[in-house]
Amino acid sequence: MNYTLTAEALTASQIKTGFGSGRLRIGPIKIFADGGMSNRTAAVSKPFLTPPYDKGLKIQSREELIDKVKWYHALGYQIAIHAQGDEGISDTLDAFEAVLGSKSGNPLRHRIEHAGCLYPDLLKRAADMNILASVQPVFFGELGDGWIEAFGPELANQLYPFKSMLNAGMQIGGSSDCPVSALDPRIGIRDAVLRQTPSGEKLSPHEALTTDEAIRIYTRGSAYLSFDENHNGTIEVGKRADFTVMAADPRDVKPEEIPDIPFTMTVVDGEVVWSE
């Protein structure tokens, strides 16, 4: 099946992932496997405990997803698949396995967007294929109570297993999913460490990241996801001088205080573009 119609202008141009400059560059082809957890449309194996009490939805069948991944993979594009529920993630991994095999170096760095219900068996499959993940810690502080209601405490405490993902060797990058949630990475760093819901419930504290780890997924981790680790993600000689300066070291304050640390300067490609 020919899928050029869904990204016809891009595929017809033969412009591939990575084309562009330090300011604007072509990224992955994005495909949706299922819906979201907060509105209970993620494709799950066990029915949600709140209305509509069903198993969510799949945007397309497993077979269609596999066909699309094969098509774009053959064209040389990095592929990012939105998958939240365990059924959506399972279909996503089946699609990636169809082009990579069960164990892979994943040279095109195909990835999962979100990966909320990455339960242990799915995590192992993803790690074996070196599948990357773009994760949104900020969801804990905004949507966490709804997860407990919809999934129940047992499953809610298995969502977004950040520490297990890192321990398994997965490359993960911090994201906001803006405009769905707050753009500010300070909030995301806080929530990666606290994993605290709006009501104060802490979900699976053993999956919490240290502040250092949380900073790394928003810097080095995100740079790796976009093939940018040789240029961005760390402050080193020879890399682009893209960074912000904060009034205090996030590692020296309580996690809940990180979002209150003021920014004092922003530097892009060596140029001070904003200063207090």
Task: Sheet with 263-268: list strands edge to edge.
Answer: 243-246, 263-268, 271-275
Determine if the pTM surpasses 0.75.
yes
Measured distance CA(51)–CA(178) in Å, rounded? 26
Evaluate whether 93 touches 83 at the Cβ level (below 8 Å). no
What is the SS3 assignment for 236?
coil
Q: What pLDDT, on the 0 to 100 scale, is given for residue 5?
A: 53
Per-residue model confidence (pLDDT) at position 9:
83
Q: Are 241 and 269 in contact (CB under 8 A)?
A: yes
Q: How many CB atoms lie within 10 A of CB 74?
A: 9
Domains and CATH numbers, the chain: 4-235 (3.20.20.140)
Does residue 189 contact residue 145 with C-beta atoms inside 8 Å? no
User: What pLDDT was estimated at residue 103?
Assistant: 97
Q: Kindly give, in sequence order, each residue whose CB lies less than 8 Å from that of residue 192, ignoring residues fewer than 6 positions away.
A: 137, 162, 174, 208, 209, 213, 214, 217
- Pick from 102, 113, 90, 88: which is nearest to 34 by CA? 88
Report whether 94 contacts 62 (CB < 8 A): yes
Q: Tell me, what DSSP letter sits at residue 119? A: -
Instruction: Please list the residues that pair with 220 across neighbouring strands.
Output: none
Q: What are the tens digits of pLDDT across the range 211-237? A: 999 999 999 999 999 999 999 999 999
Per-residue pLDDT tens over the stretch 142-175: 999 999 999 999 999 999 999 999 999 999 999 9
pLDDT tens for the chain, 276 residues long, are 555 456 888 888 888 899 998 888 899 999 999 999 989 999 999 999 999 999 999 999 999 999 999 999 999 999 999 999 999 999 999 999 999 999 999 999 999 999 999 999 999 999 999 999 999 999 999 999 999 999 999 999 999 999 999 999 999 999 999 998 999 999 999 999 999 999 999 999 999 999 999 999 999 999 999 999 999 999 999 999 999 999 999 999 999 999 999 999 999 999 999 998
The type of residue at 148 is: I
Q: What pLDDT does 122 receive?
A: 98
Return the sign of the alpha-carbon dihedral for residues 116, 122, 123, 126: negative
pLDDT at 3: 52
- What pLDDT is stored for residue 89 in this prediction? 99
Check residue 10 and give its pLDDT: 87
Among 59, 151, 143, 133, residue whose Cα is nearest residue 96: 133
Q: In what order do the strands lie in the sheet with 132-135?
A: 29-32, 79-83, 111-114, 132-135, 172-174
